[in-house]
């Protein structure tokens, strides 16, 4: 008889995570009372919000006997995020060159908590639990990525007029989640997708960092009318990336499954 607890457990984790993120506004208000640069306020807010959550999720990994995903016998798999980091640096060298500073390093460290927290929760815990519940790695990957995607609708609280942009972000996150599921299932190590997630956010973090730093030195005029592109325009811009993430993620799961079956057959023949 199939145990129904994992599904309830997964939904509690998901909605608990969303509810916990609602603390971001009061925490930002709290850190705003201190006389410090905006970047350091953001660093302190992320540290207060996400560091305890990250510790809790690591604790859950051990309680659920999933701690082996924090280890790796084959150190060569860490070449994956390293190679990706070099690719990102080469593609956006000018932006990084103009942004390098101690503040940037602190900013990246604080926001890297996002990548590690989300990967441990959605790929390290929810993905395997849903796969066990459905008895299907495919449904586990798709449903956990679906939850990861729709969770981004929480951003509507900060930008209620940006429904098109956030809907595009939800689809973007869903496809990216499938890719991270594929990488996690292939490598059996949650640190790899966590690093890749962090590096993936690096380009957007650089833009945010430069924007915040410019706001501290110049006074910017805010236009009265903000242009919001249609959802179709946004999806068209990201179509190739989304399809690539989705396809590569499913391909990684397919080949990992195929190799696993072949190894079982080989082991059986040897026996």
Distance separating alpha carbons of residues 265 and 97, to the nearest angstrom: 52
- Please tell me the predicted confidence (pLDDT) of residue 29: 87
Torsion angle in degrees (nearest 10) through CA of 202, 207, 211, 214: 90
Distance separating alpha carbons of residues 52 and 26, to the nearest angstrom: 16
Structure tokens at 144: 């956990």
List the chain domain ranges.
5-214+230-265
| ∠ CA 184-78-193, rounded to 5° | 30
Distance separating alpha carbons of residues 188 and 196, to the nearest angstrom: 14
Within 10 Å of residue 5's Cβ, how many Cβ atoms? Answer: 10
- Judge whether 248 and 182 are in contact, CB under 8 Å: yes
Distance separating alpha carbons of residues 108 and 98, to the nearest angstrom: 15
Residues near 171 by beta carbon (within 8 Å), at least 6 away in sequence:
149, 235, 238, 242
| ∠ CA 18-22-27, rounded to 5° | 140
Distance separating alpha carbons of residues 218 and 92, to the nearest angstrom: 24
- Please tell me the predicted confidence (pLDDT) of residue 264: 40
- Please tell me the predicted confidence (pLDDT) of residue 13: 93
Q: pLDDT of the chain along its 271 residues, tens only?
A: 344 556 888 899 999 999 999 998 899 888 888 887 776 777 888 889 999 999 999 999 999 888 889 887 777 788 878 887 777 667 666 666 665 566 666 667 776 888 999 999 999 999 999 999 999 999 999 999 999 999 999 988 888 888 988 999 999 999 999 999 999 999 999 999 999 998 888 766 666 666 555 555 544 444 445 566 777 887 788 899 999 999 999 999 999 988 776 544 434 444 4
Distance separating alpha carbons of residues 190 and 257, to the nearest angstrom: 18
Structure tokens at 184: 């996690």
Name the pTM for this structure. Answer: 0.84
């Amino acid at each position: 008889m199939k145990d129904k607890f994992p599904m309830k457990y997964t939904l509690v984790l998901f909605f608990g995570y969303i509810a916990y993120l609602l603390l971001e506004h009061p925490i930002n208000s709290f850190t705003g009372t201190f006389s410090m640069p905006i970047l350091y306020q953001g660093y302190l807010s992320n540290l207060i919000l996400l560091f305890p959550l990250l510790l809790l999720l690591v604790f859950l990994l051990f309680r659920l006997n999933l701690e082996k995903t924090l280890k790796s016998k084959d150190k060569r798999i860490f070449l994956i995020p390293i190679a990706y980091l070099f690719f990102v640096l080469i593609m956006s060298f000018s932006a990084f060159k103009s942004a390098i500073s101690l503040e940037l390093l602190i900013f990246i460290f604080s926001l890297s908590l996002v990548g590690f927290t989300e990967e441990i929760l959605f790929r390290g815990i929810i993905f395997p639990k849903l796969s066990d519940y459905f008895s299907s790695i495919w449904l586990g990957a798709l449903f956990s990525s679906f939850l990861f995607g729709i969770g981004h609708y929480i951003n509507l609280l900060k930008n209620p007029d940006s429904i098109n942009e956030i809907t595009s972000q939800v689809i973007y996150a869903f496809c990216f989640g499938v890719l991270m599921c594929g990488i996690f299932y292939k490598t059996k190590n949650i640190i790899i997708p966590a690093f890749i997630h962090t590096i993936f956010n690096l380009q957007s973090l650089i833009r945010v960092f430069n924007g915040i730093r410019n706001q501290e030195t110049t006074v910017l005029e805010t236009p009265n009318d903000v242009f919001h592109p249609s959802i179709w325009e946004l999806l068209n811009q990201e179509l190739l990336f989304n399809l690539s993430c989705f396809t590569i993620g499913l391909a990684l799961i397919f080949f990992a499954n195929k190799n696993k079956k072949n190894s079982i057959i080989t082991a059986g023949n040897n026996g």
